[in-house]
Amino acid sequence: MTTPVPSLTMNDGRQIPQLGFGVWQVEPDTIVGTVLKAFEVGYRHLDTAAIYGNEEGVGRAIAESGLARDELFVTTKLWNSEHARERVVPAAEASLEKLGLDYVDLYLIHWPTPARDSYLDAWLGLEEVQQAGLARSIGVCNFQPDHLRLIVARATVVPAVNQIELHPTFTQKDLTAVNDELGLLTEAWSPLGLGEDLGNATISRLAAKHHRSPAQVIIRWHLQQGRILFPKSVTPSRIEENFDVFDFQLSDDDLKAIDGVDRGNRIGRDPDHVT
Ligand SMILES: NC(=O)c1ccc[n+]([C@@H]2O[C@H](COP(=O)([O-])OP(=O)(O)OC[C@H]3O[C@@H](n4cnc5c(N)ncnc54)[C@H](OP(=O)(O)O)[C@@H]3O)[C@@H](O)[C@H]2O)c1
């Protein structure tokens, strides 16, 4: 099957599909059917994490799908309790065992947990995961500029991505500028603002203008600005809707109007205070 999803090139030369499927809060009893539905629609990029408790179900869906491994892009994440350097390879192996895979395409530190002062150690562990062939690419989530600068100054590998909360009412322009400056791609988590941004008046106006849904307008805004995103849904019609975004374009004025919606509306946890 040819995919309509464009890919971006990471700083290690590897490709990442720009639109994927997130599985946070997809329960163990629905994960297999939900991921199989996403595959049927055409998604090939999955975003999970050890802490989501559904890696086994993701792995079962991958096995049942019959898709070739090299058609898929699978991301998982190191949990905060495993930040000691010697714990990282075993943690990655445990995730791979659950996923039924020999490697993940992308392995991420889930939170910097600055109060533990351990993220550089964790990052050196991720470099070992990559050297051992357990992850093709490695990156971080929720890193603030000072965390990124410390890694870039002290480690060998520059993270390929920084996965951060980013949606129309919370655009994190200063942080994405640092990602750009250091050569990391930006991945947007909660790209729809967990659904909260769908009712925004500007988004509704643009949805009416383009005869599209609010979610489709927000997804185009991310794609056209060069970000990676993986909206989550357990609703079959929404899984389809969120992928049906490759036959219309927002104008530069539309993009600017959505940028103007920002009001510093952080919905998730503040990375400086996650321990
Ligand atoms: N690294 C991190 O710290 C971090 C943190 C949070 C999330 N993430 C990743 O980012 C992914 C996506 O973020 P998220 O799950 O927090 O939020 P999201 O994708 O912004 O929003 C998901 C919510 O929006 C609803 N929804 C989805 N499509 C819709 C549509 N077309 N119309 C109306 N409602 C729609 C879903 O409802 P239904 O499911 O009921 O359809 C769900 O309640 C996660 O699954 C996870 O992979 C990473």
Report pLDDT digits (tens) over 20-38: 999 999 999 999 999 999 9
Q: Please report, rounded to a whole number, the percentage of residues in the chain having pLDDT higher than 90.
A: 99
> Is pLDDT larger for residue 234 or for residue 2?
234
User: How does DSSP assign 114-157, residue by residue?
Assistant: GGG--HHHHHHHHHHHHHTTSEEEEEEES--HHHHHHHHHH-SS
Q: Ligand 1 centre from 189 Cα, in Å? A: 8
Binding site membership of 235 for ligand 1 (Cβ less than 6 Å): yes
Binding site membership of 141 for ligand 1 (Cβ less than 6 Å): yes
pLDDT attached to residue 1:
66
CB burial class (10 A; 0-12, 13-18, 19+) of residue 275?
exposed
Q: Ligand 1 centre from 128 Cα, in Å? A: 31
DSSP annotation of 19 reads B
pTM above 0.85, yes or no: yes
Task: Considering the candidates 52, 103, 107, 119, report the single residue annotated as catalytic.
Answer: 52
pLDDT attached to residue 175:
98
As given in the structure block, the two tokens for residue 200 are 């925004």
Beta bridge partners of 8: 16
pLDDT attached to residue 2:
82
Q: Are 148 and 159 within 8 A, CB to CB? A: yes
Name 104's Cβ contacts closer than 8 Å, sequence gap at least 6. 74, 75, 76, 92, 95, 96, 134, 135, 136
For 133-162, the pLDDT digits (tens) are 999 999 999 999 999 999 999 999 999 999
As given in the structure block, the two tokens for residue 158 are 């520059």
215 pLDDT more than 70: yes
52 counts as catalytic: yes
Mutate to test the pocket of ligand 1, among 166, 192, 269 (most ligand atoms within 8 A of CB): 192
- Please give the average per-residue pLDDT across 97-108, as a whole number: 98
The whole-chain average pLDDT of the chain stands at: 97
Binding site membership of 190 for ligand 1 (Cβ less than 6 Å): yes
For 158-214, the pLDDT digits (tens) are 999 999 999 999 999 999 999 999 999 999 999 999 999 999 999 999 999 999 999
- How many CA atoms lie less than 13 Å away from 22 in the CB half-sphere? 19
Type of residue found at 172: Q
pLDDT attached to residue 126:
98
For 51-96, the pLDDT digits (tens) are 999 999 999 999 999 999 999 999 999 999 999 999 999 999 999 9
